[in-house]
Amino acid sequence: MRAEVLLLALLVTACEAGPAKQLSEYPDSSSEAFNVYARNCSLCHAPPLPSMHTAIAWPNVIVRMQKHRLNRSMAPIATADIEVLRDYLVAHAGKGEEG
């Protein structure tokens, strides 16, 4: 019984976090912009690859993540940081039709 509960907890955690990624999978991973992105977007789950969403879709995702922070009583991302990480995501965004 206990083991089942633990396994369920692990599955739920894995689901929200997604598979851990290698640093080398991220574009420009030695840039300051990437550092800003990683610093702000790795607190609750692994930072997703920029190719996961289109340039049009990213700003809305960022707004939603701000809400998650506020819901958890975390300070919002600084405006200057938002601009840097948004530019990073948009510059390397996916090209698909869906966001």
The contact set with ligand HEC (CB under 6 A) reads: 16, 40-41, 43-45, 48, 52, 61-62, 64-65, 68-69, 72, 74, 85
CB of 81 to ligand HEC, least distance (A): 9
CA-closest candidate to residue 89, choices 30, 13, 38, 21: 38
| Cβ nearer to ligand HEC, comparing 6 with 60 | 60
CB of 86 to ligand HEC, least distance (A): 8
| Cα Rg of the chain (Å, integer) | 15
User: What residue type is 67 in one-letter code?
Assistant: K
Residues in the chain: 99
CB of 13 to ligand HEC, least distance (A): 12
Is there a contact between 48 and 58 (Cβ–Cβ < 8 Å)?
no
